[in-house]
Amino acid sequence: MTNKNRAMLIGSIGAGKSTLTNALLEKEVKVVKTQTLIYYDWIVDTPGEYTENPLFYKNIMATSLEVSHILYLQDATKKNTVFPHGYSLGLNKLPIGIVTKSDHERADILAAVAQLRKVIPKGPIVVASSVKKEGLVEIREFVKCNSLEEMKHYFNNHPSEKVFFK
């Protein structure tokens, strides 16, 4: 992806951040527990502890200064979210919600979308599967956008059942 924009992935431990990173970059790298920030091309992968422990929020805030977009990952197999309500409003970056593990037999996609909508009041939520390579094109295209208006324009011209937009 040739673009000046960069996205940071945040979410709970095991939400699929590294797996999604590899899928978006079309890499086949063994996924291991992320211990620190990892910078790839246009993606910053973060440890789940940064999101799960409020003491690490400062790391998310500092890293957000280096990115244009923040991808909020919600595991579709989890009933709860680690994000506080309205969390995206505290970070002045373009938000993209990502429902991960949508292909899992225990996935509850609508519940995951509802959890993310509490975190991201406005913007796209993409239902993704790193295994089935679903939602990846939409994520890449939203990261190319420079405003919520551009994201909405892209969505209106490329409607997808994998995207919820508000």
What pLDDT is stored for residue 29 in this prediction? 64
Domain spanning 7-165, CATH architecture = 3-Layer(aba) Sandwich (3.40)
> pLDDT above 70 covers what percent of the chain?
95
Whole-number average pLDDT of the chain: 93
Helices 148-157, 136-144: axis angle to 10 degrees equals 140
Is pLDDT of 147 > 70? yes
Residue 154 DSSP code: H
Give the tens place of pLDDT for each residue, 48-93.
Answer: 999 999 899 999 999 999 999 999 999 999 999 999 999 999 999 9
Widest Cα–Cα separation across the chain = 41
pTM: 0.94
CA dist., res. 16 & res. 127, Å (int):
13
Give the tens place of pLDDT for each residue, 8-49.
Answer: 999 999 999 999 999 999 987 666 677 788 899 999 999 999
Distances (CA, A) of 87 to 5, 112, 140: 21, 15, 22
What are the domain boundaries of the chain? 7-165
